[in-house]
Structure 1
Amino acid sequence: MTTPTTAATPAEDFEGQYVGTLVDRWDELINWDRRRASEQDFFVALLNGAEAHRVLDVAAGTGYHSVALAQQGFDVTAADGSAQMIEQTRRNATAHGQSFRVLQADWRSLRHHLDGRYDAIVCLGSSFPHLFQEADRRAVLSEFYEALNPGGVLIVDHRNFDAIRRHRYQSSGNYYYCGTGATVTVAHIDAQLCRFQYDFPDGGQHHLEVYPILSTELSTLLLDAGFDTVQTFGDFQDHFDIDGVDFVIHVARKS
């Protein structure tokens, strides 16, 4: 494994990691049709169960979940820290015949960009681990909590760093990053830094660095932020082997 460079901080490096050549390929990694088939109605069922209507997608990326939820009748606002990702969200929304509010926003000052509160917030695609500092993680969860209506729900996911940190992780390719051709591997892992390597068939290569948060660590932070209950899923199942799933999903509820 490679030796890490100095860990990047989200304020300095988050947007810089999502260069245009990677953003342009992001939908290749996702493959919207295969991703929809793997998720089925998991998130829609969670949001309907919480009686949510107004939904904030705080890590919109290229817009997959924002578009999918808008198609299901939710009142969606799409936000992302990357200007290039947000521009791609706009293009994808138009291409799929959807129209919703789109904005670029730093999570740590989220309330300054929002118009009222939401019934639900989704933070998907293992985006939360872009926060390297615990103080930032706590501050952002506080922002999410304050942006929710009473009874609101926060859905946040991350790659299975429990398994990655134990060197037991092998991506199945069946969830989230469902595209064919491109491969994603772990180039480096330690307790503070995970570097993913993205290799494309034409020889293109990109790296993304994130904080490898553990499942129990995030659950504790959610409870500390004021959420009453936290339910955990592995690859959309409520019963799972922590060493055998690609992604972990946390559903936190505000009383």
Structure 2
Amino acid sequence: MAQSVWHEDEAFWDTFEGYVFAPEVIEKAPAQIDHLLSLLDLPDDGVVGDVPCGVGRHAVELADRGFRVTGVDATASYLSRASERARERGVSERTEFIHEDMRDVSRPNEFDAIINLYTSFGYFEDRADDERTARNFYDSLRPGGTLFMSLTSKETLAGKFEQRTWDERDGTYFLEEHEITDNWSWMENRWIVVTDEAVQEFTVSHRLYSAYELTTLLQRVGFEDVSVYGNLDGDPYDENAAHLVIVATK
């Protein structure tokens, strides 16, 4: 049996859950949703897709504000955390969590908005899979609906690239090595977690997009109005940009 790629490996996501979704990351969700909503024009009872939703930090926050939310993720354990979080916040009736690969999720004309955050686009080696995912986003939006994306781009990465980084959390060490390949179109990462019991290593890779390239892709699948920002505050996408933020309207 062929070995699954990193983003299909539940062991990877389970191992790095406490790193990727550290408490300080979870705590940022309310402020991030504040900024996101300031850039969107959503009805008070709007329907939102969170793809992928991870452990549900944004999905539950949106549901707590009255929206109906469908969270999609390929990691079953994360969906369990998301469902638990929704129950704890008392918003289970406004949330739905689906165990599915985002390449396969299409719900025609269902959502007022779809959010794709935390550099969760470009995992797939075949560019056609990225376009397929973007087309699913487009098809799943209602007319006038909006896609909101936030990710690290070529431009923002170039200004802060570090070949090696490390972090320590509660006695566990997380080490990363980064390499830009294929003429700045692909990022190869070596992620290592060191505990008293074991050392685990994973290879993590994803495509890098420039603002122009991602805008062009979204226009190709049907989005006509695509706006680009440099952060969640809606500041210009210039040399000071922290992230690539895309707001694309169907």
TM-score interval for Structure 1 and Structure 2 normalised by the shorter chain:
0.7 to 0.9
1:117-136 maps to which residues of 2 (within 5 A)?
Answer: 117-136=110-129
Q: Could you tell me which residue of structure 2 aligns to residue 72 of structure 1?
A: 65
> Which of 1 and 2 has higher RCO (CA within 8 Å, sep 6+)?
1
Q: Give, as a single letter, the amino acid of the residue that structure 1 aligns with 2:74.
A: G
Aligned length: 232
Q: Which has the larger radius of gyration?
A: 2
Query: 5+ unaligned residues in a row in structure 1: which ranges?
Result: 1-8, 172-178
Q: CA, structure 1 residues 77+193, in 2 after alignment: closer, same or farther (shift >3 Å)?
A: same
Q: 2:208 aligns with which of 176, 200, 212?
A: 212
Q: CA, structure 1 residues 201+97, in 2 after alignment: closer, same or farther (shift >3 Å)?
A: farther
Q: Indicate conservation of the 8 Å contact 2:112/2:142, yes or no.
A: yes
**Correspondence 1:228 to 2:221:** no
1:109 Cα deviation after fit: 1.9
Q: Indicate conservation of the 8 Å contact 2:50/2:71, yes or no.
A: yes
Aligned equivalents of 1:123, 1:189: Cα separation in 2: 23
Q: Indicate conservation of the 8 Å contact 1:186/1:194, yes or no.
A: no
RMSD: 3.0
Q: Give, as a single letter, the amino acid of the residue that structure 1 aligns with 2:101.
A: D
TM-score normalised over the length of structure 2: 0.79
Q: Secondary structure at the match of 1:19?
A: helix
Aligned equivalents of 2:27, 2:130: Cα separation in 1: 32
Query: 5+ unaligned residues in a row in structure 2: which ranges?
Result: none
Q: Secondary structure at the match of 1:67?
A: helix
Q: Indicate conservation of the 8 Å contact 1:129/1:158, yes or no.
A: no
Q: Give, as a single letter, the amino acid of the residue that structure 1 aligns with 2:30.
A: R
Q: CA, structure 1 residues 13+151, in 2 after alignment: closer, same or farther (shift >3 Å)?
A: same
State percent identity of aligned pairs. Answer: 24
Q: Could you tell me which residue of structure 1 aligns to residue 160 of structure 2?
A: 169
Q: CA, structure 1 residues 109+201, in 2 after alignment: closer, same or farther (shift >3 Å)?
A: closer
Q: Could you tell me which residue of structure 2 aligns to residue 108 of structure 1?
A: 103
Q: Indicate conservation of the 8 Å contact 1:60/1:79, yes or no.
A: yes
Q: 2:180 aligns with which of 176, 189, 192?
A: 189
Aligned equivalents of 2:174, 2:234: Cα separation in 1: 27
Q: Could you tell me which residue of structure 2 aligns to residue 51 of structure 1?
A: 43
By percentage of residues, which structure has more strand?
A: 2
**Correspondence 1:90 to 2:87:** no
Q: CA, structure 1 residues 193+184, in 2 after alignment: closer, same or farther (shift >3 Å)?
A: farther
1:70-110 Cα offsets, whole Å, 9 max, x none, are 11111101111222322222222223332111101122221
Q: Could you tell me which residue of structure 2 aligns to residue 4 of structure 1?
A: none
Aligned equivalents of 2:134, 2:209: Cα separation in 1: 14
Aligned equivalents of 1:149, 1:136: Cα separation in 2: 22
Aligned equivalents of 2:109, 2:175: Cα separation in 1: 38
Q: Secondary structure at the match of 1:129?
A: coil
